[in-house]
């Protein structure tokens, strides 16, 4: 699955949780996204976890897309 498909699916699951009264904040969703990534993304996961400021879902998505494009070449 591509990063675009994966993040869309995770956002959809977050929306489903919110619709049943269990909203997930951005920080929690970022954690779920990072946990579900393959080992090839370990460098990105490490970099995100080392940040002092939390990363938004949109910023993480942009970073993952960029990484995926570099890996595909």
Range(s) of the domain holding residue 20: 3-72
Q: What is the pLDDT of residues 17-53, one digit of tens each?
A: 999 999 999 999 999 999 999 999 999 999 999 999 9
- Residue 45, number of CB atoms within 10 A of its CB: 16
Backbone angles phi, psi at 52, to 5 degrees: -80, -45
Q: What is the pLDDT of residue 70?
A: 87
pLDDT score of 73: 57
**What total number of domains does the chain contain?**
1
Count CA atoms within 13 Å of residue 47 on its CB side: 9
């Amino acid at each position: 699955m591509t990063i675009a498909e994966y993040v869309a699916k995770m956002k959809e699951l977050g929306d489903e949780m919110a619709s049943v009264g269990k909203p997930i904040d951005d920080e929690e969703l970022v954690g779920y996204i990072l946990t579900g990534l393959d080992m090839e993304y370990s460098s990105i996961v490490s970099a995100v976890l080392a940040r002092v400021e939390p990363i938004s879902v949109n910023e993480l998505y942009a970073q993952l897309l960029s990484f995926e494009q570099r890996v595909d070449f």
